[in-house]
Chain A
């Protein structure tokens, strides 16, 4: 049995559930939207813990689950909670207890977890994570984090083309610092910002799933291919193969970060070098699978089941 944690209709979770069904693997949902009406508990039989999910349909022992797929969102951001503008104290306590105990279990169980919270936190700081990426053998783009305008000018002078992006895991649109954007540069005095040399070439998203790897090449004219449509551009996704050494580096990086599932963002330069930007610990692989046809969800279900 595998356990799927999150909102069942969310595309990655739904695709893994579908894949598990196709493989004949039993999947149990821990639906965040049921947190107020179901309960989680740990009790013990002898010296062994039992992790149970109690609900209207009975009690389910999840201790023997071989793997957990985690797509939890901040429950306070769910529309039903934001809309009501407040909830009964008892419901709030139940929901907090549900998420708290689930988090405790995921951090301590010996089952495979894709992914635990603590290792995922390396993505909270891109400069921090970049050091780990470099230590794994990848070249990372020249980077500065600054609120000093003159430093940015000097950096841009040196690298000619420069992009800026968020420092944390907060999603931002990667944007080139073109001449017509320089007039707004003074705003960084109030907000240290990350600037990187622009690396030319095609993007390659690598999904590491346990011992499997899927590389997708994205051809796009946009600086940030995820938002190509917003600027009238296009992005074409296709499966690609990585040189053996680069694939090995990806596995080593995933292992070093303790992320059995991750999305590694590479750029393939015209000279044939793979430069690494960052590692996403909660990759929304669904959009890549839908566009490239690569069977990522099946690989996740198989890995979780230990198959």
Chain B
């Protein structure tokens, strides 16, 4: 297992769903993702995207913001009605996904994201983008194991890691 603890964990730094959204938008060039990541920071703590990601449509700055006027909560975005999106939250264990069966492109994205973070055991929030393609949300380095096959796969991965160390 390569989910090594990091000093930041002890210092109270947590993984950020909002930063992950922006990272996903950067990766896919999704205007919806940019708008969502920006707008999420303007909402009161505990509300909106922190608890429930909604892939808003194109974010358009209000005219008032264009003039430089300061608005409460930040520059306002006109938000179209939220659309239903396909979403998945698979658990990644080694090179395999469990608990959800997203399309191949989304599966590949989950594996790439986990690999980039140096995580062999994680869960990745995936969703379909408006213009095609997929984005990711929170990358959780401490996922709950809900199914027997996940526990078995995690145990296998640990056993192989221990055998590798012993060798």
Pair from one complex:
yes
* Binary per-residue interface labels of chain B (1-25) against chain A in the complex, 1 for a CB within 8 Å, 0 otherwise: 0000011101101001011001101
Contacts of B41 in A (CB 8 A): 97, 100-101, 104
When chains A and B are docked, how far (Å) is the Cα of A118 from the Cα of B73?
A: 27
Q: How many A-B Cβ pairs are below 8 Å?
A: 114
Chain B: minimal CB distance from A63 (Å): 11
When chains A and B are docked, how far (Å) is the Cα of A57 from the Cα of B70?
A: 10
Please choose the segment from B57-65, B140-148, B150-158 that sits at the chain A interface, where 4 or more of its residues have CB less than 8 A away.
B57-65
Contacts of A39 in B (CB 8 A): 65, 70-71, 74-75
When chains A and B are docked, how far (Å) is the Cα of A38 from the Cα of B6?
A: 34
- Asked if A47 contacts B7 (CB within 8 A), the reply is no
* Binary per-residue interface labels of chain A (55-84) against chain B in the complex, 1 for a CB within 8 Å, 0 otherwise: 111110000000000000000000000000
- Asked if B19 contacts A108 (CB within 8 A), the reply is yes
Most A CB within 10 A of own CB, among B41, B74, B77: B41
Across the interface, name the chain A residue whose C-beta is closest to B18: A104
Please choose the segment from A122-130, A200-208, A250-258 that sits at the chain B interface, where 4 or more of its residues have CB less than 8 A away.
A122-130
* Binary per-residue interface labels of chain B (56-89) against chain A in the complex, 1 for a CB within 8 Å, 0 otherwise: 0011110001101011111101000000000000
- Asked if B7 contacts A122 (CB within 8 A), the reply is yes
Contact of A118 among B8, B10, B70 (CB under 8 A): B8
Most B CB within 10 A of own CB, among A43, A55, A58: A43
Contacts of B31 in A (CB 8 A): 44, 46-47
Chain B: minimal CB distance from A129 (Å): 8
Contact of A58 among B30, B37, B42, B68 (CB under 8 A): B68
Contact of B11 among A40, A90, A121 (CB under 8 A): A121
Contacts of B29 in A (CB 8 A): 46-48
- Asked if A96 contacts B45 (CB within 8 A), the reply is yes
When chains A and B are docked, how far (Å) is the Cα of A130 from the Cα of B35?
A: 41
Contacts of B25 in A (CB 8 A): 44, 49
Contact of A42 among B34, B65, B70 (CB under 8 A): B34
Q: Which residues of A contact B (CB under 8 A)?
A: 37-44, 46-49, 52, 54-59, 90, 93-94, 96-98, 100-101, 103-105, 107-108, 117-118, 121-125, 128-129, 168-169
Q: Which 6 pairs, one residue from A and one from B, show the smallest C-beta to C-beta distance?
A: A47-B29, A125-B7, A44-B31, A124-B7, A121-B8, A42-B38
Q: Which residues of B contact A (CB under 8 A)?
A: 6-8, 10-11, 13, 16, 18-19, 22-23, 25-26, 29-31, 34-35, 37-38, 41-42, 44-45, 58-61, 65-66, 68, 70-75, 77
